[in-house]
């Protein structure tokens, strides 16, 4: 989930918001301002209901952020690299670049999330009791009590033993510790996640059809998210297992066709697609033979037809600092995430600043297909 608005860093962790977070803020505010607050404490103005509802929804999102921050901080303390946190419509997501090194680390990273929500719920509950003892407005007490209840509910739901929930991570840690097989443990946790997801989808739609409860749509949406995420997590685990310890040199295309930086667009096009330039992406070399960038047919197409005789490849190419690079002995898994987030889905392989190959996502996918076939043929 890519962030739309960056909030900077909190406790050293990059934090951002996705635009869809506005959906949950609006829905929570609407539910409170038009439902719970007027029902429990009638007689207040609409402005009072809405102001408190919006404030409560913002505090709720802050509690979600605290939940994810706890994951990120503990992950870093256990040697796991953290890219950042993004809050979105269905909550938050801490992006972990690497896996937990041991079942114990997995247990600590997963367990701290629900624990944080329980603590937050307890703090809000205590605050609600204290405010009530001070005879503060019942409407304010209601808002704080709702925050206590929703955090406890969040902790309980997240503790369910189904990936990608925190409880699924706890289940994986247990299975990993018991079997010693990380992949087998992941399969068990993700299977539980898909089962829970389908249960929520079926019961959600049943609530809509037979009880005319639109809240069932929300349960179905969360269920669909669980199914999709658990399935993706299972595939990712399979990929990590297949490509574990595979170096970049084994999947790269060696000695790729290159394009001189000084060549014009007209010269480049005259040599393709049936001449020297039969591909869609090429490394670009300077006169001294050093690699300076990457050119694609899409980038070349930006040059107006009337300027192709004078526009050079150097003017259109993606400069080297903007292109993912890797060493030939670097693990493919370390490069994969950089490739997936790059604009051209290509990486240049350099050995002591000398171009030795190029890697695309298609190269990795092809290698993965062969490895999967070979593994299947032995079983």
Query: For the segment 117-176, what is each residue's pLDDT rounded down to a tens digit?
Result: 999 999 999 999 999 999 999 999 999 999 999 999 999 999 999 988 999 999 999 999
User: What's the confidence (pLDDT) of residue 376?
Assistant: 60
CA distance 148 to 122: 6
Averaged confidence pLDDT in the chain: 89
- What percentage of the chain exceeds 90 in pLDDT? 62
Return the higher-pLDDT residue of 18 and 69: 69
Report whether pLDDT(302) > 80: yes
DSSP 3-state assignment of 354?
strand
User: What's the confidence (pLDDT) of residue 350?
Assistant: 95
Domains of the chain, start order: 5-243 (no CATH), 248-378 (3.10.580.10)
User: What's the confidence (pLDDT) of residue 375?
Assistant: 63
Report whether pLDDT(231) > 80: yes
Q: What is the mean pLDDT of residues 310-332?
A: 94
pLDDT tier at 379 (50, 70, 90 boundaries)? very low
Cβ–Cβ < 8 Å for 292, 317: yes
CA distance 105 to 113: 13
Cβ–Cβ < 8 Å for 320, 292: yes
Q: What is the mean pLDDT of residues 283-310?
A: 93
Question: What ranges in the chain are assigned the alpha helix state H?
Answer: 21-31, 37-40, 46-77, 103-133, 138-158, 166-179, 182-211, 215-243, 265-270, 297-300, 313-316, 332-341, 361-378
Residues annotated catalytic, as ranges: 68
Q: Can you list the pairs that 62-67 forms with residues at least 24 positions away whose Cβ atoms lie under 8 Å? A: 63/117, 63/120, 63/147, 63/150, 63/151, 63/154, 64/91, 64/92, 64/154, 65/10, 65/15, 65/92, 66/116, 66/120, 67/92, 67/113, 67/116, 67/117, 67/120, 67/154, 67/158
User: What's the confidence (pLDDT) of residue 271?
Assistant: 82
Report whether pLDDT(18) > 90: no
Report whether pLDDT(306) > 60: yes
């Amino acid at each position: 989930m890519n962030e739309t608005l960056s909030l900077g860093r909190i406790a050293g962790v990059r934090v951002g918001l996705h635009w869809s977070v506005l959906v949950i803020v609006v829905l929570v505010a609407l539910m409170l301002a038009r439902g719970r607050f007027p029902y429990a404490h009638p007689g207040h103005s609409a402005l009072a209901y809405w102001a408190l509802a919006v404030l409560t929804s913002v505090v709720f999102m802050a509690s979600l952020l605290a939940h994810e921050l706890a994951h990120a901080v503990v992950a870093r303390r256990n040697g796991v690299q953290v890219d950042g946190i993004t809050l979105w419509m269905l909550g938050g997501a801490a992006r972990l670049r690497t896996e937990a090194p041991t079942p114990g680390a997995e247990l600590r990273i997963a367990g701290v999330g629900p624990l944080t929500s329980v603590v937050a719920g307890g703090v809000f509950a205590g605050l609600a009791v204290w405010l009530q003892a001070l005879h503060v407005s019942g409407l304010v007490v209601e808002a704080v009590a709702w925050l206590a209840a929703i955090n406890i509910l969040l902790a309980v739901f997240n503790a369910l033993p189904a990936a990608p929930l925190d409880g699924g991570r706890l289940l994986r840690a247990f299975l990993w510790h018991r079997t010693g097989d990380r992949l087998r443990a992941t399969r068990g946790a993700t299977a539980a996640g898909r089962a829970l997801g389908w249960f929520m989808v079926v019961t959600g739609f049943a609530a809509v059809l037979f009880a005319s409860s639109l809240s069932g749509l929300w349960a179905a949406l969360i269920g669909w998210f669980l199914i999709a995420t658990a399935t993706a997590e299972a595939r990712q685990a399979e990929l990590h297992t297949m490509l574990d310890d595979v170096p970049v040199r084994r999947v790269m295309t060696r000695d790729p066709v290159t394009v001189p930086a000084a060549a014009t667009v007209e010269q480049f096009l005259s040599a393709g697609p049936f001449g020297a330039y039969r591909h869609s992406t090429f490394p670009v070399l300077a006169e001294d033979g050093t690699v300076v960038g990457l050119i694609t047919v899409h980038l070349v197409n930006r040059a107006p037809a009337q300027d192709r005789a004078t526009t050079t490849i150097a003017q259109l190419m993606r400069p080297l600092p903007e292109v993912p690079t890797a060493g030939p002995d670097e693990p493919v898994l370390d490069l994969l995430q950089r490739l997936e987030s790059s604009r051209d889905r290509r990486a240049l392989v350099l050995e002591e600043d000398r171009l030795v190959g190029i890697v695309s996502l298609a190269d990795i996918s092809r290698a993965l297909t062969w490895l999967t076939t070979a593994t299947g043929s032995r079983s």
